[in-house]
Amino acid sequence: MQASEAAHLPTMIVDAELSAPGICAQIVRFDIPEPTDTRHALGEGYHVNMCLTPRPLESRGGYRERWGPHRFERLGDIFAIPPGESLYIRGGRGRQASLVCTIDAAMVHEFIGQMLNWDDAHLAAALDIASAQVRALLFRITAEVRHPGLASRRMLELLGGELSIELGRYGLEVSERPMTGGLSGWRLRLIEERLAGDLAAPSLQELADLCSLSVRQLTRGFRVSRACSIGDYIEQRRMEAAKRMLMDGDSVKTVAFAMGFSSPSSFTFAFRRAVGASPSTFRQRQGRALGSMHSVAA
């Protein structure tokens, strides 16, 4: 391979790693100099990825062997790849940090007492996991990997067990929800466009009027379509936007008022609850990570 070709390939750097029986957790940084279309095949374990910095807006995932070459769905803050599957990811250039957990499939199936059925609906739902329980566990694992404490391997093993159960519950919720009654594609697009066009949180009534539905129809249909509450989804999208603004250099005050918060302190409280760190701490961490990337590239 020529040096010029290698310079355009994505690179991955492992900043920290912690392993325990059944689980390996890593904090990694990706440097993607050019738009990519890459295949990710993870063998017989479950692969869970949570972005710690904003995921590029263009990021999409698709299972070509299952869906064909043209279907790609949006990648959320958290996505999972089941055992034996190959996920193709398309994305734009940029730098990103993620927590990456690989969990033994046998441990997941032992904890939940059954095998999970990874059909089309499950694969699509796993590309954007908006479960607050899964998110909280991944933040706790991130903290343990960054700053291992007393009995850290045992702690990670226990957290891995909890994560296995929550992944199983998420998969079973997809199985048990009705196959009909979800929102149509055009209504989901209207909601996405509203969230992208205005950082202030919409009311449920506003979104219901936008979709020509009652609030009850909206909330029930959205949960069927996205396997999470519309409130959790709105909060997740708003915090993604806040991360991008902070990394672009906007002040905490500017971000707070742009997002419709009454004060910087109320925004800081919401951000810390959703992201696991204050806005200032988040920006400092990402600044150090990007500085390390620049040093490696130099």
What's the rounded Cα separation, in Å, for the pair 184 and 218?
A: 11
pLDDT of residue 25: 96
Q: Which of 209, 263, 259 shows the shortest CA–CA distance to 235?
A: 259
Class of domain 185-297: mainly alpha
* pLDDT value, residue 21: 95
pLDDT, position 255: 92
Are 33 and 92 within 8 A, CB to CB? no
Mean pLDDT split into 10-residue runs, the chain, 298 residues:
52 91 92 74 84 81 87 88 89 81 92 83 86 89 93 96 92 65 79 86 92 90 82 86 86 91 92 86 71 48
Q: Half-sphere exposure of 118 toward its Cβ, with a 13 Å CA cutoff?
A: 19
Position 8 scores a pLDDT of: 56
Element (H, E) at 91: strand 86-91
Instruction: Give domain limits for the chain.
Output: 3-176, 185-297
- Quote the CA–CA distance of 186 and 188 in Å, as a whole number: 5
- Output the DSSP codes for 177-237: S-SS-PPPHHHHHHHHHHHHH--SPPPHHHHHHHTTS-HHHHHHHHHHHHSS-HHHHHHHH
Element (H, E) at 23: strand 23-32
The whole-angstrom separation of Cα 181 and Cα 176 is 13
pLDDT of residue 177: 58
Total count of residues recorded for the chain: 298
Strand partners, 268: none
Closest listed residue to residue 226, CA positions, set 198, 187, 194, 200: 187
Q: What is the pLDDT of residue 196?
A: 82
- Residue that the structure tokens 């997809």 belong to: 174
Neighbouring C-beta atoms of residue 190, cutoff 10 Å: 16
Domain spanning 3-176: CATH 3.30.200.20:
no
